[in-house]
Amino acid sequence: MDSDASCSDCKIEFIEGKWTQILLNWINKCTVQEPRVQQLTPKCLLSIIDKYKYDICTNDLDRAILCSDDVEPFIRYKYPILRLRYLTEAMNLEKKLYIMTSVLLYYCCCNSRTGEVDNEICKNLTIDEQETILKYCERLSDMEVTINNVETAVNDALQNLLKQEENKPIQIARNQIEKLNVTSPSAQYHPLSSSEDNSNSDDSKDAAVKFISPLTVLPSAVPEASTFSNVTESVLTNDSAIDKDASEKKDISVFRTEKFGNSDDGSCESNNRCKTECDCARCSISGPCCGDPGQSTLSCGEPCSWKCKFKHLKFSRKTYVYAFAGCLTIVILLAAVLITLAVLKKKEHNRYDARRLMDDEARIFRPNAWECVENLCQKLSRPTSKRIYVSHSRCVLQCMGPQLWPYPIGYTLFSKNLVAMSILKLEYKFQSLPSENVHRHLAEAFKLFIGDLARLEKIGREMKNGTCDLPVKKMNIIIDIETDPDPRLRLNTDEAYTISVNSNFDFITIHLSSSSFCGARHGLETLNQMILLDQLTGYLITLSHIIVKDAPSHKYRGLMIDTGRNYIPMPDLMKTIDTMAACKLNTFHWRISDVTSFPLLLPKLKELFEFGAYDRALVYTRADVKALVTRAKVRGIRVLIEVAAPGPVGRPWFWHSEATCPAKNANYTCDNLLCLRLNMRESIFDILQLIYAEIIALTEVDDIFHLSDGVFTMINCFSLIEDRDGFLDKALNRLRMANKGFMPKLPIVWYTKHLTRTLEAKTWEHLGVQLYKWNPDSGDYLGTFRVIHSNKWDLSCEMRKQRCYKYRTWQGMYSWTSWRNIDVFTIEGGEAVLWTDFVDSGNLDYHLWPRAAAVAERLWSDIIANTTPNPEVYVRLDYHR
C-alpha cells in the first residue's frame, strides 16, 4: 500500500511539474517576459493580461475589471464557481497561482478574437506542448471551471506524457538486450569454458545489474536471475517486432538460457522433467515444457489452446457454487433491466399518443392554439400545416425564449425542450451562507418566490383537464451565497448571479449562486420570469436546460418619488417597492418633504409635523418607515430619504426664527411663505443633525446620504443661491457627527450653480451630484464629481407656463444614451424622478410604469442594450408589464 501511495504521489508531482513547465514556457516565450521567470508569480499573470488584454476583452466591463493590478476579480467574474477563496491561506498560494494561470490560459485560448494567442503558441512552443494545451482546453470546455475540474483536465491532457515516462525503463531494457544480442553473438551458441569466457560472464552480470536498475520503479525488486528472466521474457514477448521474426526470437531465447541458466534456475539442460524431443526456450518451474508433458518438437512451437492452458486447473465444489450464484444474479439483474425498459417504453408511448392527440386536435383547428411567425407568437386563426403550440406559455418559451426584463448582459443558453413541475414536489437547500442574517433575509425572499409560484398553481388547478403530455418532475433548488455576510445593499455589493437549470429522468435541478444576498435575490427574480403557467395542463413549465450569467452595468439604479407636494399612502409605496424589485431597481429615493409639507413624524421635532403636515392623518410614522425599509431590504432595495434643505423649505419651517426670506412686506414678514429658506446658523444645523441621525437610524443606510441642496420652486424666490454659502461644508460636518463619526462614502446633492463657486466645488470634490434639468451646453465642468443622471428621465408632466404640456415617452427614455458621453469623474448610475404636482394614489402607477421599467433596463443592460428599442424590446416590455 505504501508503494502504491508513493507511486501515486510521484505521478501527481510529475504532472504538476510538467504542466508548470509548460505554463512557464508559454509565459516566457509568448508574453516576452524579461528576464525569464523560473516560477509562477502574480507578476506573470499581469504580464499575460498586458500582452493579451485587447485581444481577449469582449466588452467594456471586461476592460474595466482588468484596469486594476489584480487579475483575481476578473477570473472570479468570468468563472464564479471557481471559488479561489478556498486557496487564500499561505500554504495554498502556490497552488492558487497554478490554478489561476491555468484558467487564464484556457480563457485566452477560448476568447482570442484575432487569433493572436493561438499564433503565439503555435510559433513559440513545441508540438508536444501545443498538443497538451489543446487537449487541456478541449477537456475543460466539457466541464464547469472549478479547481477539481482544472486539475482533472491537466491530468487528462498529460496522460500520454505520463505513459511515455512510465515506459522509459522498459524501452531502455529492450535497447540493452538488443545491444547485448548484437555485440556478443558467440555467447548465443557456445557454452562458457575458458577464463576469458568467465570474465565475459562477470561483465554480463554487471550489465544485468544495470539492466535491472531502471525497473526499480516497480512495486517489487528483482533479486534473483530466475525472476529477472521472467521479467525480460515479459518485455520480449510484448515486442511486436521480435514476435514477427521467429529466428530472432529463437536466438534471444538461447542467449537467455545460456547466459543466465544454471541448475538453480530450473534450466532446460539440467531439469529431468523436460523431454529430450522438446525444443523449448525454457522449462516451466511448476510443470513440464510447453505446459503439456510429451509435447514434441513438431507442435511445441504452436500456440497452446485454451484446453492446453487450463488442463491442469482443478476447481472445488465451493467454486462451482459461487460461479452458479454469480450467473444467477446476473440473469436476475438483466431481467429487471429489461422489465424496467419495457415499462418506460410503454409510458413514453402513452405520452407520445397524448402529444399526438393534442397536435392532431390543434391541426384540425383550436381557438386557443398558437403558431410561431418570425420568432413571435401569434394566435391561430385558421388551420395550418405549421407547428402549433397548444398554449401561449409553450409558444413563448419555445418560439420566443424567456421574456426577461431587464435582459441579462452575460452568457445565456436556453434549450427548446419543456419540462413540467410542481411546488408540491419541491426540495430546496441553502448552502454556503456566510451569516445568520443573510439566512433570514434569503428565507424571506425565497418565501416570496415560492408564493408567486403557488399563486400560479392555484390558478392552474382550475385549468387542469386530466391530460399532461409532459412528465411532472420534482424541483430541486440549491442556493449558494459565497462571501458577503451583510444582506444590506452597499456601494461595493456584488449583485452578479449565475443560474443553471438541468433536468434528468426524475428531477429538475436549479442551482443559483451569487456572492451576496442581493445578487441571489435578483437571480430569484430572473428565475420567476422563466417559470410560466401552462394554460393547457395547469402545471408550471420551463425549459429543460438553462444557463444565465448576469450582472448590472451600473451599481446605482434608482427611482425617486416626491411625497412632499402630494401625500402618497403607504400601500401605494409598498406596491411600488414590489414593482421596483421586478425591474431590479435597487434604490428608492424618497423625497419626503418640500415647500408645501413635511409629513414625516419625528417625536423629537414635533413642530415640523404640526406646521408641515396637510392633516394629522396624512403623515408617515416611524413604524411606517421601518415597515417600508424592511420590505425593501428583503427585495434588495435601499431606501434613501431626502429632506429639503436649506431652501426653499416653505411652510413647515415657519415656526423657526432662522427661517427667513429677503423679500418682506410692511409687517416685516416674508412676502411668500414658500420662499422661506434656512439661515446658516448653528441652531439650524443642530436640527439638521438630529434629522440626519433619525434618517440613518430608520433606513440603516450609512454609506449613501442625500443632503438635498436643491432649488425647486414654482414661484420667483430671490437670492436662493447666495443665501446658502457655507452650507455644504457645515452639512458634511454635521452628517459625520450624525453617522457616529464616519463620513458616508457617497454624499449626494442636486446639481445647481451653487457648485460652480470655487469654495463649494473644492468642498464637494469627488462626491456625488444628481443631474436634473442640466444643460450640456452650459460649459459647467463636471470632471470632479461622481454623477447620477436624471436629466431625461423625468416621469412628471413637462411643464410650460405652469401647465402640463406633454409626457415623455418610454421610447425616448430607453433611447437616451448621450449621458454616457459627459465628461465626469465617475458615472455611479441613474435615477427616474417623479414630482407629484399632478399625481396621487389614483394615477401613481400610470405615471411610473412602464416608463420606469424602460429606465431600469437601460441602467442594468446598458452595456449590451440597443440605443433604440427594436421590436424584440417592445415584445419583452409588453410581456413584462
pLDDT at position 305 over 60: no
The highest-confidence range among 145-159, 188-202, 469-483, by mean pLDDT, is 469-483
> What is the DSSP code string of 693-738?
HHHHHHH---SEEE-------SS--SSTTGGGTTHHHHHHHHHHHH
- Residue 225 has a pLDDT of 38
Least confidently predicted of 256-265, 539-548, 611-620, 863-872: 256-265
- Residue 358 has a pLDDT of 58
Mean pLDDT along residues 674-683: 88
Q: 546-576 pLDDT, tens per residue?
A: 999 999 999 999 999 999 999 999 999 999 9
Decide: 498 and 510 in contact? Cβ < 8 Å. no
Contacts of 132 (CB under 8 A, 6+ apart): 19, 22, 157, 158, 161
Measured distance CA(315)–CA(797) in Å, rounded: 99
pLDDT at position 443 over 80: yes
pLDDT at position 837 over 80: yes
pLDDT at position 144 over 90: no
Q: 496-518 pLDDT, tens per residue?
A: 999 999 998 889 999 999 999 99
Residue 780's pLDDT band, with cuts at 50, 70 and 90, is: confident
Residue 306's pLDDT band, with cuts at 50, 70 and 90, is: very low
Q: 605-659 pLDDT, tens per residue?
A: 989 989 999 998 999 999 999 999 999 999 999 999 999 999 889 889 988 888 8
Measured distance CA(656)–CA(647) in Å, rounded: 13
- Residue 296 has a pLDDT of 42
Select the more confidently predicted residue: 804 or 217. 804
Least confidently predicted of 406-420, 554-568, 749-763: 749-763
The rounded percent of the chain whose pLDDT value lies above 90 is 39
Select the more confidently predicted residue: 517 or 774. 517
Q: Is 90 exposed, middle or buried (0-12, 13-18, 19+ CB in 10 A)?
A: exposed
Q: 851-862 pLDDT, tens per residue?
A: 999 999 999 999
Q: 809-822 pLDDT, tens per residue?
A: 999 999 998 888 88
- Residue 527 has a pLDDT of 96
HEC assignment per residue over 249-287: HHHHHHHHHHHHCCCCCCCCCCCCCCCCCCCCCCCCCCC
Select the more confidently predicted residue: 308 or 881. 881
Mean pLDDT along residues 840-851: 93
pTM for this one?
0.61
pLDDT at position 184 over 90: no
Report the chain's mean pLDDT, rounded to a whole number. 79
The rounded percent of the chain whose pLDDT value lies above 70 is 75
Residue 2's pLDDT band, with cuts at 50, 70 and 90, is: low
- Residue 666 has a pLDDT of 59
H or E element, residue 139: helix 127-141
- Residue 257 has a pLDDT of 34
pLDDT at position 712 over 50: yes
Measured distance CA(115)–CA(119) in Å, rounded: 6
pLDDT at position 475 over 80: yes
pLDDT at position 162 over 90: no
Question: CA 3 from chain center: how many Å?
Answer: 41
- Residue 556 has a pLDDT of 97
Q: Edge-to-edge, what's the strand order for the sheet holding 540-543?
A: 412-414, 546-550, 497-503, 507-514, 472-481, 418-431, 540-543, 532-533
- Residue 24 has a pLDDT of 87
Mean pLDDT along residues 280-309: 43
pLDDT at position 805 over 50: yes
Contacts of 758 (CB under 8 A, 6+ apart): none
Mean pLDDT along residues 50-59: 78
pLDDT at position 215 over 80: no
Mean pLDDT along residues 826-841: 94
Task: Please report the beta strands in 364-448, taking only residues with DSSP state E, as ranges in sequence order.
Answer: 370-373, 376-379, 388-389, 412-414, 418-431
Decide: 410 and 514 in contact? Cβ < 8 Å. no
Find the angle CA(506)-CA(511)-CA(515) to the nearest 5 degrees: 170
According to DSSP H, which parts of 391-509 are helical?
Answer: 392-395, 436-461
